[in-house]
Chains A and B, each alone.
Chain A
Amino acid sequence: METCLSSPPAVSAFLDRFGSRMTSRMDSPPTKLRLVHERGELDTLLRDVAAGEQGALRELYSRTSAKLYGICLRLLGSANEAEEVLQETYLIVWRKASLFDPSRASPITWLAVLARNKALDRLRLRRLATEPIEAAAGIADESPAADILFEASQDRERLATCLDELDERNRTLIRAAFLDGASYPELAECEQVPLGTMKSWIRRSLLRLRGCLER
């Protein structure tokens, strides 16, 4: 967020920060066959990791770390912190791989969400570190790793369809929050609207999104 906030708040700064990456639509998924194949292999690797095979973790790391590192880097904007979170993430995978439930998420989604949640925890700590005592005392070190996914992850195409029902601006804002960890005040500043307006926009978008996804 520094880029956006350290320069004069302007839509153009916002676009510099988020726009180029967010206006592109979701990358088309790999062909189904390849997806199934890879998924099966990652499934197996996670099972082996759960059984304590370090070689399996090594292989899992080599196949997935670039994806997870990209997620951490984007959220945190700092290579140092992204590395720390990535390390933390794979250590959790090592210890908690048995919690992976293939009926709820694909292995890569599970890993990606784990990395994203860890990075977001770090971001929250950073946010609260500048807060007065009372808020700082409320810092949670991290959310339990077990809470990663409570239900089957959303079908990718369905999500894309529902996001398309939002207008461009609101789509961009949802992405900025989820992928870049942008907070309400940061988004309000970047868009140069009052905080209340930003909250309204996003809450409406979330309600529409939920309505569409649950149809």
Chain B
Amino acid sequence: MTDDPESEDLFAAEYALGLLSGDELARALSLARSDPDFRKEAGRWTSRLAPLLDEVAEAEPPQALWQRIAAQIDSEEAPSPTQIVSLRRRMNIWRAYGAAATALAASLAWLLVTRPPPPAPVPPTPAPMVASLSADGSPARLVATWNPDSRALLIAAAVAPAAAPGHAHQLWMIPVGGQPRPMGMMPKEGPMRAVLPAGIAGQLREGVTLAISIEPEGGSPTGLPTGPVIAAGKLIRT
């Protein structure tokens, strides 16, 4: 037995096959966002093994599923002014505001060039939303994902806010043109997960800003942010 053969060379293959987990998976996802060659190699492996899918047994989906699909299409049918935005909708938006957007746009462009799509209606989607939270002068970087269907909010830190002794981090929702509303305290460690009450959930729409400020333990005494905002970002559709 010798050392692992060309492990880096096969990283895209391992990613495409679904073998990776943990840090390796996180690294591969990051490469998939940023490196067109990595995506291409992963696509090549998927293509190689695609005939295996022939052998998967068929299974009848529930009858009602088509109705759900049709209903969703109908509800999206009305043309909207966000058609250009919606072109990006299915792309990875987690970091789409950064350089990754360029790489993704390029990867999409690759196929657009080979086969320009007709100007078919491109409806908006009720997909989950994300917000990338950061602020000038603050190292904290967080990503919020909001699933309106399940009313589940997840906020995970790429770079966790620095702990401030005697203070806590409070989450705020700022509606477009509105006042900040307190959304609860961030846990000292680990991601924040919450299922929101319907009343608040209904207001978490595209364009709403999520912000995190430094507040006294237990939260702002005034109901409005009193300390500096260390990270903020607007919800956008994925």
Q: Which of A57, A83, A120, A146 contacts B62 (CB 8 A)?
A: A83
Q: Which of B1, B25, B115, B238 contacts A135 (CB 8 A)?
A: B25
Give the residues in chain A near B142, CB-CB below 8 Å. Answer: 137
Instruction: Report if B198 contacts A (CB, 8 A).
Output: no
* Interface residue range, chain B: 35 or more
CA distance A183 to B91 in the complex (A): 25
CA distance A140 to B55 in the complex (A): 29
Q: Is the CB of B18 within 8 A of A74?
A: no
Instruction: Report if A13 contacts B (CB, 8 A).
Output: no
Nearest-Cβ distance from residue B106 to partner chain A, whole angstroms: 10
Instruction: Report if B17 contacts A (CB, 8 A).
Output: yes
Q: Which of B25, B43, B51 contacts A147 (CB 8 A)?
A: B43
Nearest-Cβ distance from residue A154 to partner chain B, whole angstroms: 5
User: In terms of DSSP, what is the predominant structure of the interface of chain A?
Assistant: helix
CA distance A138 to B53 in the complex (A): 28
Nearest-Cβ distance from residue A60 to partner chain B, whole angstroms: 11
Instruction: Report if A167 contacts B (CB, 8 A).
Output: no
A61-B66, A65-B61 are known contacts. Are A135 and B49 too (CB-CB below 8 A)?
A: no
Q: Which residues of B line the A interface, CB within 8 A?
A: 1, 4-7, 10, 13-14, 17-23, 25-27, 29-30, 32-33, 39-40, 42-62, 65-66, 68-70, 72-73, 90-94, 104, 107-108, 110-112, 114-118, 120-123, 125, 128, 130, 141-143, 145, 154, 156-158, 160, 190-191, 238
Could you list 22 examples of A-B contacts with CB < 8 Å? A54-B70, A70-B57, A75-B18, A86-B61, A86-B65, A87-B69, A98-B118, A99-B111, A101-B111, A109-B50, A113-B47, A113-B53, A124-B18, A128-B29, A131-B22, A133-B190, A134-B23, A139-B94, A153-B47, A156-B54, A159-B48, A206-B10
